[in-house]
Amino acid sequence: MQPAHDDLGLVQALRDDGSVDPSTDPQLDDATLQTLFRHMIRLRLIDERMLMRQRQGKVGFYGASTGQEATPIVTALQLQPQDWVFPALREASIMLVRGFPLETWLAQIYGNAADVMKGRQQPMHMAGKAVNQVSWSSCLGPQLPQAVGAAWAAKIKGDHDVVSVAFTGDGATSEPDFHAAMNFAGVYRPPVVIICQNNHWAISVPSSKQTASATFAVKARAYGLPGIRVDGNDVLALWRVLSDACGRARRGEGPTFVEAVTYRIGAHSSSDDPTRYRSEDEVERWRQRDPIARFERYLRSRGLLDDGGRAALEAELTEEILTAIRAVEAHGLPERTSILDDVYAERPWHLEAQAEELLRHPPAPQH
């Protein structure tokens, strides 16, 4: 889709009062609208609970998506099972929308015996082969050429119905990986969608210190691919832009770069104090454009949500989340010998010897 404005403009559909611009309204059915809202509320409730767990010392690190729920949830509902996702920090929830079990997802944050990655990753680096989602790299940027490469492989193999989606923040557009990915995508035109969640802050560095370009979307012109700038707090505009971008890729029409303009309401992570580098007035201005609140006003105007339904949904999802947390916290640490797994298809004699030696020594007590 080419937006009504050029890529220095902004594609929008939802107005602040809950009404919608008919020229950009994707005209979603009631069931889809309610599914979107459910997933967004669940993500916010998960974030709230896990931040509390981090403060209680139950987990070591957490990065919330508060204020940025719209982009990952809308993206997830554009994908088909065969598609691949290469996320950054705030897109792990795509796995849940695609059917990854919540308990197993949460176990990665704890790094315990229920974690499919056996406790080997830093918290919040979720991945799952079952849903074709690759772990992100803490030194952001490498996921971009990886996604373009996966899309290029699909094109070479003739897997015409496979799309790769890559995510970056505004900060990682300053990395060489961004240039490499965009240039390769422009030249070879693989079925990839690159989404920049411009939340205005790369930890403490504002986007104004990342680029002299008027927007991030305009950078796509230099690489020869479409660049579209969309309101990242507008569920309906995101649906319109991302469904068109994924459709282009799936039809063999090449890559798209999408700048989703949003804002990180909370801290960068549980290790961050944002009051040291930004004003509360700025945060409050963006809080007024909260993607969940804007979408909720629209749903209420459509008669799809009321106070009773909102309370019942939150109660149901809270119980689901607490049940999963209790189940996860009942698991112990991964088996110590699992550190030797996954190196070879069959464990060779010298690793067997190391496993036996390890088991001869009791583990250190847990505190």
Active-site choice (229, 240, 268, 289): 268
Between CA 36 and CA 70 the distance in angstroms is 8
Between CA 153 and CA 160 the distance in angstroms is 11
Between CA 289 and CA 286 the distance in angstroms is 5
Nearest to 5 by CA among 223, 227, 239: 227
Between CA 185 and CA 148 the distance in angstroms is 6
Q: Which residues are CB-contacts of 320 (< 8 A; sequence separation ≥ 6)?
A: 42, 102
Between CA 367 and CA 191 the distance in angstroms is 49
**Kind of pairing, strands 201-202 and 256-261?**
unpaired
- DSSP characters over 225-256: S-EEEEETT-HHHHHHHHHHHHHHHHTT---E
Between CA 289 and CA 342 the distance in angstroms is 46
Residue reference for tokens 């009791």? 362
Nearest to 287 by CA among 50, 16, 85: 16
Instruction: Respond yes or no: is residue 277 known to be catalytic.
Output: yes
Active-site choice (55, 160, 277, 302): 277
Active-site choice (44, 189, 240, 264): 264
Kindly list the catalytic residues.
264, 268, 277
